[in-house]
């Protein structure tokens, strides 16, 4: 069974620069007959964290997809993990998200033999009450998965290069949440972790670890010199995950006619860019 992962669409109302790319990707997915489920992997909106109109627009965008859709929020949708930014995730932003999309984390048994766990990366390591509720949910959902194998979805990567790297809350899930996720992954033999946010693709497989998959963005790319050190490859389009008996195999799909641009080209006119070391 196959899941299409649509990441980092960045569609918006006041600045609809990337809407045409989204529409082409959505049409491409709709034209396929082998997609059983779609996961929108965060940053669906350009500025839903500040503009409720962007959240409403994003809701309409996913309703154009024919397959069932599960949605997770990203930093552009509900705000940042770090508490000292101008746009932190908070009760108000999370409540707005839930009005349009429902719970910000979920489990799904829609894929035979698998349980999919979707987490809201933006509340991790924040101290918000939603963080404790999500941990309780994750522990319970993993413990009660039975014979189903587990696959985890998150907007933010768990790390960029390795588990023990320094915290960069603008780029990856920081401690203490990162080691807690590692413990959950090890305890429950999670087979794959699929993330967005980096606007890069990656299929990293190390013996004894889950497959770490970075999903393609449909909106824009970033130059290496603006990014912290990380692996991955430039790619615009979307990702299809083939859920086989014991593993998840990604297919990175290029879509003809997408506008290819780099966030640096916009010089902050579209959205603020995080600092390389943030």
DSSP at 191: -
The whole-number pLDDT of residue 277 equals 85
**Cβ–Cβ under 8 Å, residues 63 and 26:** no
- For the question of whether the overall pTM of this predicted structure is more than 0.85, the answer is yes
Number of domains in the chain: 1
Query: Residues, the chain, total?
Result: 278
The whole-number pLDDT of residue 157 equals 98
* Assigned domain for 277 exists: no
* Assigned domain for 39 exists: yes
Report which of 39, 77, 72 is spatially closest to residue 57, judged by C-alpha positions.
77
Q: 128-179, pLDDT tens digit by residue?
A: 999 999 999 999 999 999 999 999 999 999 999 999 999 999 999 999 999 9
Instruction: Write out the residue range of the structural domain in which residue 233 sits.
Output: 2-266
Q: What does the block give as tokens for 247?
A: 């593993």
Task: Give CA–CA dist 192/238, Å, rounded.
Answer: 17
Q: What does the block give as tokens for 106?
A: 């979920």
Sorting pLDDT into bands at 50, 70 and 90, what band is 236? very high
pLDDT more than 90, % of the chain: 96
* Assigned domain for 278 exists: no
Task: Give CA–CA dist 221/269, Å, rounded.
Answer: 15
Q: 24-51, pLDDT tens digit by residue?
A: 999 999 999 999 999 999 999 999 999 9
* Assigned domain for 94 exists: yes
Name every residue whose Cβ is closer than 8 Å to that of residue 263 and which is 6 or more positions away in sequence: 199, 220, 221, 222, 226, 270, 271, 273
Asked if the model's pLDDT at residue 271 lies above 90, the reply is no
Asked if the model's pLDDT at residue 65 lies above 90, the reply is yes
CATH of the domain at 57: 3.60.21.10
């Amino acid at each position: 069974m196959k899941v299409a992962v649509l990441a980092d669409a960045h569609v918006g109302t006041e600045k609809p620069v990337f809407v045409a790319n989204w529409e082409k990707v959505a049409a491409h997915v709709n034209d396929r007959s082998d997609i059983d489920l779609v996961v929108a992997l965060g940053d669906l909106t350009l500025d839903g964290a500040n503009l409720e109109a962007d959240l409403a627009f994003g809701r309409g965008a996913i309703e154009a997809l024919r397959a069932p859709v599960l949605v997770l929020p990203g930093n552009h949708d509900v705000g940042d993990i770090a508490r000292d930014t101008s746009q932190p995730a908070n009760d108000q932003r999370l409540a707005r998200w839930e009005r349009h999309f429902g719970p910000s984390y979920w489990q799904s048994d829609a894929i035979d033999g698998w349980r999919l766990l979707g987490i809201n990366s933006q509340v991790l390591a924040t101290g918000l009450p939603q963080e404790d509720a999500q941990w309780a949910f994750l522990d319970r959902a993993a413990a009660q998965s039975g014979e189903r194998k587990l696959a985890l979805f998150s907007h933010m990567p768990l790390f960029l290069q390795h588990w023990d790297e320094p915290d960069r809350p603008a780029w990856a899930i920081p401690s203490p949440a990162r080691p807690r996720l590692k413990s959950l992954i090890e305890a429950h033999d999670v087979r794959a972790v699929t993330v967005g946010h980096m606007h890069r693709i990656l299929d990293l497989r190390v013996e004894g670890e889950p497959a770490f998959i970075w999903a393609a963005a449909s909106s824009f790319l970033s130059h290496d010199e603006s990014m912290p050190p990380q692996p991955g490859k430039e790619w615009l389009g979307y990702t299809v995950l083939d859920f086989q008996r014991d593993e998840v195999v990604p297919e990175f799909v290029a879509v003809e006619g997408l506008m290819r641009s780099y966030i640096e080209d916009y010089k902050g006119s579209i959205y603020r860019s995080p600092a390389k070391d943030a």
